[in-house]
Amino acid sequence: MDRAKETIARGFRGVKKQYEKVFEIIDARWSDQLHRPLHAAGHVLNPGLYYKAQEEGTLLQSLWTEYYTCVEKMIPNTTIQDLLVTELPRYKMADGLFGCGPAKRARDTRSPVKYQTCKSLP
C-alpha cells in the first residue's frame, strides 16, 4: 500500500494538498479491510507474516479472535474445526515440518500457496 501511495503522490507532483483527500479515502477503506476475519486468517496462515510478527512480539491477540471467527464461518464441519484447533499449536511453535530448515527458509521467499514441506522428515 505504501508503494501505491508513493505512486499517487508522484502523480500529483508531490503537492500534498492535492492528494491528501485521496489518502484519507484509501486509509479508511484499507483500515476497514484489515479488521476482517478473512484477513486475520490470511495473516495467521501466511508463514512469513505470522512468524515474523511472533518473533517481533507484534502479533495481536485480537487476530486470534478473528481467525477463529473465520474458521467457524468457512468450515462448517466441527470435526475439521477441532482438528485445526488441535494442530494449530504445532504451527504456532514451528514444530515438526513447520520448523525444518527448508520450511523456515521458504517463509519469506515462497508464496504461502506454494509453501514447501520437508520431504526428508517422517
Tell me the domain boundaries of the chain.
2-34, 37-114
Rounded to an integer, what distance in angstroms lies between the CA atom of residue 3 and that of residue 14? Answer: 14
Our CA angle for 88, 30, 105, nearest 5°, is 40
Q: Which residue has the cell 483500515?
A: 31
Q: Which residue has the cell 503522490?
A: 9
pLDDT of the residue at 102: 87
Per-residue pLDDT of the chain (122 residues; tens, 9 = 90+): 678 888 999 998 889 999 899 999 988 887 777 678 998 999 899 999 999 999 998 888 888 999 999 999 999 999 999 999 999 999 999 998 888 898 888 888 876 666 545 454 44
